[in-house]
Structures are given as C-alpha cells and as structure tokens.
Amino acid sequence: MKARSAQQRHVLEDSALLPEAEIDLSDQPEILNWSNAERGKFYRPVKQSVTMRVHADVLEWFKSNNAKYQSRINQVLREFVQQERKAKALKR
C-alpha cells in the first residue's frame, strides 16, 4: 500500500475529530435495500491443507453428489462448528 502524503494524513486527522452529525454523506446515500448484496464476496478465510481419514462410503457420497466435494465437506464442517459454538454459548 502506498504511503499517505502529509496532506492526506492531515485531512484524515481533521475528519476523525468531526462529530458524526457534521459528516457530509450526501454523495454516499444510505443503502436501504440489501437484497442484492453478496455475502462473503471479499472475505476469504485462510485454508489449510490437511490429510484426513474418512470412511470410504462417506467420501463416495460427497463425491457423487457434488463435483466440488471438498468445498462441500468444508461447508458441512463449518455449519457443525457454528452449531456447536451456538449451543455452547447458550449453556453459559
């Protein structure tokens, strides 16, 4: 990333001191309709390559139902982790 000039830093510092009510957002209207938003478009979690043993029938099922079976396995594992985290949070 290119370093900011002294003038750019000065503008940013001045802007940070403005109360929220004084910030001019007229050139950036508020978005009220998010129906066309794309979730996760810019976020790409870091993936790590692993070797894992799974039952042959389980692997065959994933392979036969989706050409991107590794991504599907990752999705299923992620959903499981999220459910477990949610259940653990409810127990507290």
Residue at 72 is within a domain: yes
Residue at 58 is within a domain: no
Q: What is the pLDDT of residue 28?
A: 87
Mean pLDDT of the chain: 90
Give me 56's structure tokens.
Answer: 């042959």
Residue at 56 is within a domain: no
Q: What is the pLDDT of residue 52?
A: 94
Residue at 88 is within a domain: yes
Residue at 11 is within a domain: no
pLDDT band at 25 (very low <50, low <70, confident <90, very high): confident
For residue range 39-68, what is the model confidence (pLDDT) as tens digits? 888 888 888 999 999 999 999 999 998 889
User: CB 74: neighbour CB atoms within 10 A?
Assistant: 13
Tell me how far CA of residue 56 lies from CA of 53, 60, 66, in angstroms: 9, 6, 16
CA–CA separation, 14 and 53 (whole Å): 57
CA–CA separation, 65 and 72 (whole Å): 9
CA–CA separation, 74 and 56 (whole Å): 17
- What domain count does the chain have? 1
Q: With a cut of 70, say whether residue 1 has pLDDT above it.
A: no
Q: With a cut of 80, say whether residue 92 has pLDDT above it.
A: no
Residue at 29 is within a domain: no
Host domain of residue 92: 68-92
Residue at 74 is within a domain: yes
Helix H or strand E segment including 88 = helix 69-91
Maximum mean pLDDT: which of 14-28, 40-54, 77-91: 77-91
Residue at 77 is within a domain: yes
